[in-house]
Amino acid sequence: MTTTDSDRYDRPGRNEPIPLVIVQGFLGTNGAWMWGNFEQYLNHASRVRRKTIFVSVGPVSSLHDRACELYYALLGGTVDYGMEHSISHKHARYGRNIAQGQYPDWSPTRPLHFLAHSMGGPTVIKLQDLIRQGHFGPTAQTPMILSINAISAPFRGSGLVYLLGERADAAPAVQPLSVGSILGKWVHVVSYLSPLVSHIIDFHGDSRSLTYRDISFFTLLQQLWRSDWAESTDATPFDVTFQAADERESQGEGVVDAETFYQSHVAEMTRRHSQGSNFHAPPYSQMISPLMYLYARLLGKFDYSTIRPRPSFLSEKPLSEEFWANDGAVPTFSQWHPLSCCHTLCRHLPVDNNEREAIPKPGVWYVKQEFDAHHMSLVPLWMGTDFQKQWWKRLGWWLSAVDETLPYRQALYSGG
Ligand SMILES: [Zn+2]
Ligand SMILES: [Zn+2]
């Protein structure tokens, strides 16, 4: 009996599709119920159902903390944020112990697909970067991430964080009485009560001693006055600033891995404001989503010149209209991929609902533009729209096409 490449591929059943891990964005909790009936369309063309794994990570935590939580949620074990990181950000090195990981066999020969919405996108990029740096030890290797599909991800930052209260001239400080400030206070109150409410909402604050079991009521009041977490460089809001995105990119984060498959799904709900201007505005028909409409208008004329330190892309003048086109939360240029087009490998493609996707290649970002779509049109809320159904079908085809490449990849790893 001869051994084929397929036989060497170490998966539970050779016909079993590689599971899809779903990583949610800012304030996203473990909300599989919200995502609805997508699996029917994801598995539209498959004989065997693809397993999906929803992972709970800190909904307001920094990318670093979220990436560490993601890794251990899948493999199991005690969340290790790293000694250097925990000392510099003044929280405990270890978080919660996860007795049973959601995919304990995760390895370079048992890789996973990742689907990430919003801040989930840079979270998976951070995970890939931490694996590359050896943060999780020698057994963790980048081929464990077979593919990344990002929807409306703020890879390069978003002006939204400043509109919500982050100081444009002094991040991570937050404007008093802003939405961001109130949100930070709410996180502290919920975290204080977390032994009672963690089954409803879980901020993963284990390494920070924030509950009524750990701190006094007076300390809670101090945190409500000025938060050591929300107003630090180790929380989601700061990681959405252009300053933080520039720092990540300058350290080499976001460089494509030659063996990972990448797709970004870029939503855009605005149109060019007028001839001769690169500013954008949403059409009145988008007022059906009033909050998205409001922020789309504000981002459509966002003044980048107020940001300190100056974002690196301002040196790439003149800025194109994609810096003002947006989905109500993230400008288009930031949703494309980490790094600018001249510093990564990318292909920007039109969407075609009717044709099956061409076989993707690893190590290249395939950028797909979805027009008349806002930040939440595709996920997380299932509305049963044709747009959602077609999109999930296309994703199902794409994932199957990537799965098909695996026997050859496996041959590479086994030296065959
Ligand atoms: Zn941290
Ligand atoms: Zn590009």
User: Is 209 found in the same domain as 124?
Assistant: no
At how many degrees (to 10) do helices 120-133 and 63-75 cross?
80
Residue 339, Ramachandran bin (φ over 0: left; ψ between -120 and 50: alpha; else beta): left
User: Is 288 found in the same domain as 185?
Assistant: no
Tokens of 402: 């990537």
User: Is 251 found in the same domain as 131?
Assistant: yes
DSSP-assigned letters across all residues of 176-232: TTSHHHHHHHHHHHHHHTHHHHTTT-----GGG--STTTS-HHHHHHHHHS-TTTTS
Q: What pLDDT score does 274 carry?
A: 86
166 within a domain of the structure (yes/no): no
Q: Distance between CA atoms of 281 and 299, rounded to whole angstroms? A: 8
User: Is 194 found in the same domain as 67?
Assistant: no
In the numeric block, the tokens 């790094």 are attached to 339
Which of 231, 254, 270 terminates a domain? The answer is: 231
User: Is 219 found in the same domain as 127?
Assistant: no
Give the distance (Å) from ligand 2 centre to CA of residue 333. 8
Q: Could you give the 3-state DSSP secondary structure of residue 400?
A: helix
- Ligand showing the shortest atom-to-Cα distance for residue 83: 1
Q: What pLDDT score does 3 carry?
A: 39
Give the distance (Å) from ligand 1 centre to CA of residue 71. 14
User: Is 225 found in the same domain as 277?
Assistant: no
- Ligand showing the shortest atom-to-Cα distance for residue 130: 1
Give the distance (Å) from ligand 1 centre to CA of residue 304. 28
168 within a domain of the structure (yes/no): no
User: Is 347 found in the same domain as 283?
Assistant: yes
- Ligand showing the shortest atom-to-Cα distance for residue 254: 2
User: Is 203 found in the same domain as 336?
Assistant: no
User: Is 276 found in the same domain as 201?
Assistant: no
Tokens of 405: 């490449």
Phi first, then psi: what are they for 76, rounded to 5°? 90, 165
Tokens of 359: 């076989």
Give the distance (Å) from ligand 1 centre to CA of residue 122. 15
DSSP-assigned letters across all residues of 285-319: GGGGSHHHHHHHHHHTT--GGG-SSPPGGGGGPSP
Give the distance (Å) from ligand 2 centre to CA of residue 338. 9
163 within a domain of the structure (yes/no): no
**How many domains, the chain?**
2
164 within a domain of the structure (yes/no): no
Q: Distance between CA atoms of 186 and 184, rounded to whole angstroms? A: 5
Q: What pLDDT score does 13 carry?
A: 53
Give the distance (Å) from ligand 1 centre to CA of residue 86. 6
User: Is 53 found in the same domain as 12?
Assistant: yes
Running along the chain, 416 residues long, what does each successive block of 10 average in pLDDT? 41 74 79 86 90 89 95 97 95 94 95 96 98 96 97 97 93 85 75 72 72 74 74 90 97 96 97 91 93 96 95 88 97 98 92 62 94 94 94 94 77 49
Identify the CATH number of the domain in which residue 265 sits. 3.40.50.1820
Structural domain boundaries, residue 30: 5-157+241-299+309-413
Q: What pLDDT score does 15 carry?
A: 65
Give the distance (Å) from ligand 1 centre to CA of residue 338. 21
Give the distance (Å) from ligand 1 centre to CA of residue 169. 23
110 within a domain of the structure (yes/no): yes
Straight-line distance from the first to the last Cα atom of the chain, in angstroms, rounded to the nearest whole number: 17
Phi first, then psi: what are they for 348, rounded to 5°? -100, 115
Q: Which of 267, 407, 275 is nearest to 327 (CA)?
A: 267
Give the distance (Å) from ligand 2 centre to CA of residue 365. 7
Q: Distance between CA atoms of 139 and 181, rounded to whole angstroms? A: 41
User: Is 135 found in the same domain as 82?
Assistant: yes
**Is-cis flag, bond preceding 172, omega within 30?**
yes
- Ligand showing the shortest atom-to-Cα distance for residue 346: 2
